[in-house]
Structure 1
Amino acid sequence: MIFAVWIPLLVPFLAVPAARRLADALPPRPAARLLTAVSVGLAVCSAAALGLLAAAGALRLPFVAALGHLVTPLDEVPDAVALPAACVAAVLLALCGLALIRTARRQIGEVRAARRRLAPSTGELAVVRDPCPYAYALPGRPGRIVVTTGMLRALDPAEREALFAHERAHLRGRHHLFLAAAELAAQLHPSLRSLRAPLEYALERCADEAAAGAVGDRGLAARAIGRAALAARSAPGTRPRAALAAVAGPVPRRVAALLDRRPAAAPLRSRGARLIAAALVACLCASAVSAVEAAADLHGGIETAQGED
């Protein structure tokens, strides 16, 4: 446990720089899935490592050792190192837990507040009388496409259909769950916060491709997204953070990708992309194996301290 427990805490600093390149290196859908899996997996392993450090230190306290029926103290790490590390780990774990709860409550509260602001309706499309042009996919049951009268006036009918197809793809793909999971994971390790932007880009690209397929014209989809983004530049940020919108992210890169005639749904397109994906999977596996190994070492140390063979 002495060395293995630190690996899940250090691996994210190595994995995140490579993960940020996935949004461009891989097709949108596998990039979004892998980014989310890496974020959640590394966050869980990091939290487990903090928990193991805190538990190892707590077992050195007399009343905790008595509760665990330890007849001899744990001797893997000197008290001068184990106790301070355990205190720091316990504080960090508590702060991460509070941040996790606060973020989850904020996500749910923002979505509920946005749904309360809408006029009661059973339709998928919710038109808001507002001259500020904006539109987004609001998750929930049922999911809603929120669009203002200002945005409707900024687009022609064909472009509106492309915009609606984009937001509908977000709802059907339940993309808000990917974004919410990554944001929650970022509360457990600071380096994971920088993965939100590439993940959001990958999710927007997924919806861009779906919209292009729905309207049967990649140029039309690109024009709709570009015009919507230009119209929304002066609109205030009224959408929940868990909601996705066609005007989010680096729009010029997304438009250029739509105008690129190469199929975005192709398998891993280059050797570099395969290497990045393999490196991330290796980092995730190393983090998980190290956390399991540290837990097994701690369990073995407890059994030894309990006098069991």
Structure 2
Amino acid sequence: MHLAVYLPLLLPVLAALAARPLSNRLNPKLATWLLTVSAVALAAASSAALALLALAGLARIPLVDALGHWSTRVMQHDNPTALWMALIAGMLLTAATVAAARIFWRRARTLLAAAAEAACLPGTGELVVMDDPAAEAFAMPGLPGRIVVSTGMLQALDHAERDVLLAHERAHLTGRHYLFTAAVQLAAAANPLLRPLATAVAYTVERWADEHAAAVCGDRRRVARTVGKAALAATRTGARPRFPAAALGILGRRPAPSRTEGPVPRRVAALLTTPPDHRALPLAAVAAVLLAAALCSIEAAGDLDALFDLAHLR
């Protein structure tokens, strides 16, 4: 338990550094799955490590030893975890649990509210057109989900570009991208070191929808042009993101005002290059990191269990 318990606390730093390169180089669908699974797994592993440290340190307290029928001498001599370290781990674990619970409750309410609002939108079809000069478009999760587009956005695009827009928003609904963003936000709440993964997933779900639209229309340049024109139209008409928190739009959650920085220019640049492929090396590296986190957590739990057995026998 000396080293194994600490590795799951350090691996999120490595994942945070790798998040943006992975989001740029991997196929967006694969990157979304990979980053989301990694975030959830690393959040669980780091929380487990904190729990093990807290439990091991608390076992140094004689009263706790008496309640567990453990040898105080063994716990004081063979236990590698100091009491102060256990207190810090316990506070961090409590903070992580509270933050994750708050995000879970907030996201659950948001998704339910979005589904209720989608059901109340006019009409029965998938597409809902708002009479609004501000250029906006977004997909609202629900049963079924709805695609909301403003008249301002429709006027800014030609017929072919409107098809791209609808294909993009439809990809958000069919791919259930809101679940990926919710899961990675929950993981980031449990471990703030994973916040870069949440940012990366917010980007990759948009790239996933872009690539889906490109596959549907068969023209990557048209998709790039549509994304760029939609961003310019939103800026020109003074559109503000007024859609529900669970909704996803073609410009992402926060349209970037700059034309050279932010996710929209990155997406346009990606669409003007060859499609990313499935690369074996990043997949193997991520798998190795997740395997290491799992094995270290299991080993640390086994070491702590062995310590308790030894203390109980004596």
Q: Is TM-score (shorter-chain normalized) higher than 0.5?
A: yes
**Which position in structure 2 is the counterpart of 1:82?**
82
TM-score of the two chains, using structure 2 as the length reference: 0.87
**Which position in structure 1 is the counterpart of 2:166?**
164
TM-score of the two chains, using structure 1 as the length reference: 0.88
Q: Distance in 2 between matches of 1:278 and 1:160?
A: 39
Q: 2:248 aligns with which of 241, 244, 251?
A: 244
**Which position in structure 1 is the counterpart of 2:33?**
33
Report matched runs for 1:65-214 at 5 Å.
Answer: 65-72=65-72, 73-74=74-75, 75-77=77-79, 82-117=82-117, 118-214=120-216
1:143 to 1:281, Cα distance in 2 relative to 1, 3 A:
same
Count of aligned positions: 299
**Which position in structure 1 is the counterpart of 2:287?**
281
Deviation of 1:120 (Å): 4.9
Q: Distance in 2 between matches of 1:128 and 1:115?
A: 18
**Which position in structure 2 is the counterpart of 1:267?**
278
**Which position in structure 2 is the counterpart of 1:254?**
267
Note if contact 1:41-1:284 (Cα within 8 Å) is conserved in structure 2.
yes
Note if contact 1:114-1:240 (Cα within 8 Å) is conserved in structure 2.
yes
Deviation of 1:48 (Å): 0.4
Q: Distance in 1 between matches of 2:108 and 2:133?
A: 27
Deviation of 1:167 (Å): 0.8
Q: Distance in 1 between matches of 2:134 and 2:108?
A: 25
Q: Distance in 1 between matches of 2:251 and 2:309?
A: 57
The one-letter amino acid of 1:18's match is A
1:112 to 1:130, Cα distance in 2 relative to 1, 3 A:
farther
The one-letter amino acid of 1:187's match is A
The gaps in structure 2 that reach 5 residues or longer are 253-261
Q: Distance in 2 between matches of 1:21 and 1:263?
A: 15
Establish whether residue 18 from structure 1 lines up as the match of residue 22 from structure 2: no
Q: Distance in 2 between matches of 1:121 and 1:303?
A: 65
Deviation of 1:87 (Å): 1.1
Deviation of 1:193 (Å): 0.3
Q: Distance in 2 between matches of 1:55 and 1:89?
A: 9
Runs ≥4 residues deviating over 6 A: none
Q: The residue matched to 2:134 in structure 1 has which SS?
A: coil
The one-letter amino acid of 2:99's match is A
Note if contact 2:51-2:90 (Cα within 8 Å) is conserved in structure 1.
yes
Q: The residue matched to 2:139 in structure 1 has which SS?
A: strand
* CA RMSD, 1 decimal: 2.2
Report which stretch shifted further, 47-56 or 129-138. 129-138
The gaps in structure 1 that reach 5 residues or longer are 269-273
Deviation of 1:71 (Å): 4.0
The one-letter amino acid of 2:249's match is A
**Which position in structure 2 is the counterpart of 1:56?**
56
Deviation of 1:115 (Å): 4.5
Q: Distance in 2 between matches of 1:306 and 1:252?
A: 62
1:111 to 1:130, Cα distance in 2 relative to 1, 3 A:
farther
**Which position in structure 2 is the counterpart of 1:297?**
303
Q: Distance in 2 between matches of 1:107 and 1:129?
A: 29
Report which stretch shifted further, 290-299 or 121-130. 121-130
1:157 to 1:290, Cα distance in 2 relative to 1, 3 A:
same
Note if contact 2:115-2:141 (Cα within 8 Å) is conserved in structure 1.
no
Q: The residue matched to 2:78 in structure 1 has which SS?
A: coil
1:147 to 1:108, Cα distance in 2 relative to 1, 3 A:
farther
1:112 to 1:128, Cα distance in 2 relative to 1, 3 A:
farther
